[in-house]
């Protein structure tokens, strides 16, 4: 069905309840996957409604999407935020700091489902509290439910547990929730296998739906200034040791090469930059709107990805990088989703954490200067267009609806 035909069928759309947190206007990279799906679902005959938390921020909400917001009564409202709140949250909020949102979200969802017919429920984490909400609502109303993983629940590299009891509680909670899921999806095979390994019942109902890029997103026109610019956009999420190793290698590049970290506070890596004597060559700027970040990526001579040490880590940023047409230098494990992706579509090189980055970075910079940097395979990359990926999501949802209706008729 072509796009015009799809748009004609919107009035007869199937209706999808999307449970998502974070969500705009909250500023978070974690909103990108859901927001991009929302943009394209109507073209495939699905009308989404979002159930999320009340939030503040500057990120634009997708136009034309109805949003239902539930309050978050704890912990910040009672404790005032800050380090004390963070410590207490780590001890008492399971599965995540939005645990107290679960009850109000279920309440708001039940009010909605009493007055309107929906065809399916879709929840996307991180913040596994979204899966608690979706599991409850799907169970109450008998709707099929697809649980989507962008990060691991139990084995996420940046989640620490207050005690072994907390970890066991998380494991038990995830198992209980997954037993209610009709299907599960994840952004790569490694993450999906990890989930199915803990819940074998979902084997055969598990789907890889990667992150991707969306050419519908506008980008600002940006000029970075004199010199050759390497750019990293987005937060570093605790990867300071890898960042310091990268900058030590960067210091050996020709003096006309500059580095921009966009989207973090200068205090995060300022001490590292000063220690390495790179203050005149490295710029650090805080958060900017997403369209400006895309413009900066496209204005760069090269893009840097510091991907962490877990195999399954695949930030949506790598797809933005590749779609920009700029060569990518990634610090990522040899056997990782990032390294596999670059091997599949080209467009960059991947060097493992702990390796000597300097020779690889010098060779990478030399190839760019010589006009011989690794090209992107446009055909392979097109599989990660979010319009295509939304089609894959819709195939799963359509299958769940058909299965549920057959079961109800039998």
Residue 181 belongs to a domain = yes
Shared domain for 28 and 160, answered yes or no, is yes
Residue 221 belongs to a domain = no
For the cut 70, the answer to whether the pLDDT of residue 2 exceeds it is no
Shared domain for 323 and 187, answered yes or no, is no
Q: Which residue has the tokens 């909670």?
A: 173
Report pLDDT for 162: 80
pTM for this structure?
0.89
- Is residue 345 exposed (0-12), middle (13-18) or buried (19+ Cβ within 10 Å)? buried
Residue 327 belongs to a domain = yes
Shared domain for 372 and 391, answered yes or no, is no
Shared domain for 289 and 367, answered yes or no, is yes
- Is residue 172 exposed (0-12), middle (13-18) or buried (19+ Cβ within 10 Å)? exposed
Is residue 290 within 8 Å of 348, Cβ to Cβ?
no
Shared domain for 271 and 396, answered yes or no, is no
Report pLDDT for 86: 65
Binning the chain into helix, strand and coil, the percentages to the nearest 5 are: 45, 15, 35
For the cut 50, the answer to whether the pLDDT of residue 70 exceeds it is yes
231-240, 291-300, 325-334: segment of lowest average pLDDT? 231-240
Report pLDDT for 90: 76
Residue 217 belongs to a domain = no
Report pLDDT for 11: 42
For the cut 90, the answer to whether the pLDDT of residue 232 exceeds it is yes
Report pLDDT for 75: 59
The predicted model gives 226-254 an average pLDDT of 93
Shared domain for 206 and 276, answered yes or no, is no
Shared domain for 188 and 297, answered yes or no, is no
The predicted model gives 4-18 an average pLDDT of 63
Report pLDDT for 237: 75
Convert 277-295 to b/e letters by CB count within 10 Å (16 or more is b): ebeebbbbeebeebebbbb
Is residue 152 within 8 Å of 186, Cβ to Cβ?
no
Shared domain for 168 and 252, answered yes or no, is no
Tokens of 377: 């395979």
For the cut 60, the answer to whether the pLDDT of residue 9 exceeds it is no
For the cut 60, the answer to whether the pLDDT of residue 82 exceeds it is no
The fraction of the chain above a pLDDT of 70, given in percent, is: 92
Compute the distance between CA of residue 234 and CA of residue 251 in angstroms, rounded to an integer: 21
Residue 366 belongs to a domain = yes
For the cut 90, the answer to whether the pLDDT of residue 160 exceeds it is no
Report pLDDT for 181: 96
**Whole-Å CA distances, 134 to 16, 140, 178, 318:** 12, 10, 11, 29
Residue 313 belongs to a domain = yes
Q: How many CB atoms sit inside 10 A of residue 390's CB?
A: 23
Compute the distance between CA of residue 214 and CA of residue 389 in angstroms, rounded to an integer: 10
Compute the distance between CA of residue 400 and CA of residue 143 in angstroms, rounded to an integer: 9
**Whole-Å CA distances, 11 to 259, 355, 362, 401:** 49, 55, 56, 18
Tokens of 214: 């969306």
Report pLDDT for 84: 62
The predicted model gives 368-383 an average pLDDT of 95
CATH for 160: 3.40.50.2000
pLDDT tens digits, one per residue of 292-303: 999 999 999 999
Q: Is the dihedral of CA 371, 375, 378, 379 positive or negative?
A: positive
**Whole-Å CA distances, 16 to 22, 330, 393:** 18, 36, 12
Shared domain for 70 and 200, answered yes or no, is yes
For the cut 50, the answer to whether the pLDDT of residue 47 exceeds it is yes
Mean pLDDT for the chain? 90
Report pLDDT for 313: 62
Q: Give every strand in the sheet of 145-149, ordered side by side.
A: 66-70, 46-53, 14-20, 120-125, 145-149, 183-186, 206-208
311 pLDDT band, cuts 50/70/90, is low
Shared domain for 338 and 369, answered yes or no, is yes
For the cut 80, the answer to whether the pLDDT of residue 88 exceeds it is no
Q: Angle at the Cα of 222 (from 217 to 226), degrees rounded to 5?
A: 150
Shared domain for 393 and 272, answered yes or no, is no
Domain interval for residue 313: 228-384
For the cut 80, the answer to whether the pLDDT of residue 309 exceeds it is no
Q: How many CB atoms sit inside 10 A of residue 114's CB?
A: 9
Q: Which residue has the tokens 């058909």?
A: 402
Residue 189 belongs to a domain = yes
Report pLDDT for 354: 87
Report pLDDT for 314: 66
As a whole number of Å, the end-to-end CA separation of the chain is: 30
Shared domain for 372 and 393, answered yes or no, is no
DSSP string of 125-167, one letter each residue: ESSTHHHHHHHHHHHHHT--EEEEESS-SSS-TT---SSHHHH
Residue 399 belongs to a domain = yes
pLDDT tens digits, one per residue of 190-230: 899 999 998 999 999 999 999 999 988 999 999 999 999 99
310 pLDDT band, cuts 50/70/90, is low
Q: How many domains does the chain have?
A: 2
pLDDT tens digits, one per residue of 94-126: 888 899 999 999 999 999 999 999 999 999 988
For the cut 50, the answer to whether the pLDDT of residue 282 exceeds it is yes
């Amino acid at each position: 069905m072509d796009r015009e035909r799809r748009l004609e069928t919107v009035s007869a759309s199937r209706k999808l309840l999307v449970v998502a947190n974070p969500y705009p206007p909250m500023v978070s990279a974690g909103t990108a996957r859901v927001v991009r799906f929302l943009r394209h679902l109507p073209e495939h005959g699905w009308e989404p409604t979002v159930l999320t938390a009340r939030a503040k921020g500057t990120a634009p909400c997708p136009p034309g999407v109805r949003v239902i917001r539930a309050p978050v009564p704890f912990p910040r409202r009672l404790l005032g935020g800050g380090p004390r709140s963070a410590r207490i949250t780590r001890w008492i909020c399971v599965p995540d700091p939005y645990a107290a949102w679960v009850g109000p979200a279920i309440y708001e969802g039940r009010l909605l489902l009493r007055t309107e017919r929906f065809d399916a429920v879709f929840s996307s984490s991180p913040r596994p509290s979204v899966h608690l909400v979706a599991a409850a609502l799907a169970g109450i109303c008998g709707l099929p439910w697809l649980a989507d993983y962008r990060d691991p629940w139990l084995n996420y590299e940046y989640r620490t547990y207050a005690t072994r009891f907390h970890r066991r509680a998380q494991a038990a909670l995830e198992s209980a929730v997954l037993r209610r899921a009709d299907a599960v999806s994840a952004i790569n095979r490694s993450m999906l296998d990890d989930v199915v390994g803990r819940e074998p019942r979902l084997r055969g109902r598990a789907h890889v739906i990667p992150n991707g890029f969306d050419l519908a997103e506008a980008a600002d026109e940006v000029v970075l200034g004199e010199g050759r610019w390497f750019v990293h956009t987005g937060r570093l999420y605790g990867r300071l040791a890898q960042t310091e190793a990268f900058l030590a290698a960067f210091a050996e590049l020709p003096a006309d090469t500059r580095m921009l970290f966009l989207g973090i506070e200068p205090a995060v890596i300022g001490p590292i930059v000063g220690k390495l004597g790179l203050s005149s060559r490295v710029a650090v700027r805080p958060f900017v709107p997403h369209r400006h970040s895309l413009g900066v990526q496209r204005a760069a001579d090269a893009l840097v990805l510091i991907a962490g040490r877990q195999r399954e880590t695949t930030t949506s940023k790598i797809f933005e990088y590749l779609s920009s047409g700029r060569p990518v230098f990634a610090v990522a494990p040899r056997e990782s989703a990032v390294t596999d992706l670059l091997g599949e579509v080209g467009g960059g090189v991947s060097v493992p954490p702990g390796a000597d980055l300097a020779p690889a970075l010098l060779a990478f910079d030399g190839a760019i200067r010589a006009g011989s940097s690794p090209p992107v395979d446009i055909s392979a990359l097109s599989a990660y267009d979010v319009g295509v990926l939304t089609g894959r999501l819709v195939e799963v949802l359509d299958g769940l609806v058909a299965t549920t209706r057959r079961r109800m008729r039998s």
